[in-house]
Amino acid sequence: MIYVFLADGFEEIEALTPVDFLRRCELPVCTVGVTGAQVKGSHGIVVKADCLPEEINPQDAQMIVLPGGMPGTLNLEKSQAVQDMISYCVENEIPIGAICAAPSILGHRGLLAGKRATCFSGFESELLGANVTGAPVEVDGMFVTSRGAGVANTFAFALAALLLGEARAQTLKDSLLCEK
């Protein structure tokens, strides 16, 4: 299961593009409402989460995804359920995707130290010890980081490629008529 964590103030494109693209790849995706079953995005779009944190099973996780947005990122970071899931993923080498401001959650824990990473402009200093590249997406080991909403599709393709391989990600790109 791929758990996409949503908290009030999340960036809608950064959360729902990976959900959509990964489901198109027939991967199991569950949106997790950290702040409740109805989660309001930073642009006022309300999403009904598939489940709540207490309903997830960490042992089922293939990947977790942390969308950015404000105050969504802050709400994710202060969630004990999110922090516990990050710890579980790190201990078990389960991939973690984070976009926009959300890589700061990983940075504050020192998880990106010595790794290539990227984030939304202005959050670079929050990625403690990382080699911040400014690239649209960075994949380094189990971590996939990305800059923001404008490259959410590139982020989603990187997540798909990490789980299913480049060929399957390319098939997805082709099916969506993405520019080559």
pLDDT (tens digit per residue) in 52-76: 999 999 999 999 999 999 999 999 9
Residue 16 inside a domain? The answer is yes
Residue 54 inside a domain? The answer is yes
* Pairing state between β 96-99 and 63-66: parallel
pLDDT at residue 89 tops 70: yes
Angle (CA) 136-139-140 rounded to 5° is 135
pLDDT at residue 180 tops 90: no
pLDDT value of residue 178: 85
Q: What's the domain range around 82?
A: 2-175
pLDDT value of residue 179: 74
pLDDT tens per residue, range 31-60? 999 999 999 999 999 999 999 999 999 999
H or E stretch including 47?
A: strand 46-48
Residue 57 inside a domain? The answer is yes
Q: CA-CA distance, 68 to 46, in Å (whole number)? A: 16
Residue 180 inside a domain? The answer is no
Split into its structural domains, the chain has a count of: 1
Q: Is the pTM of this model over 0.75?
A: yes
Torsion of CA 99, 102, 105, 111, to 10 degrees: 10
pLDDT at residue 139 tops 70: yes
pLDDT value of residue 39: 99
* CATH code of the domain in which 61 resides: 3.40.50.880
User: Which range, of 26-30, 125-129, 173-177, averages the lowest pLDDT?
Assistant: 173-177
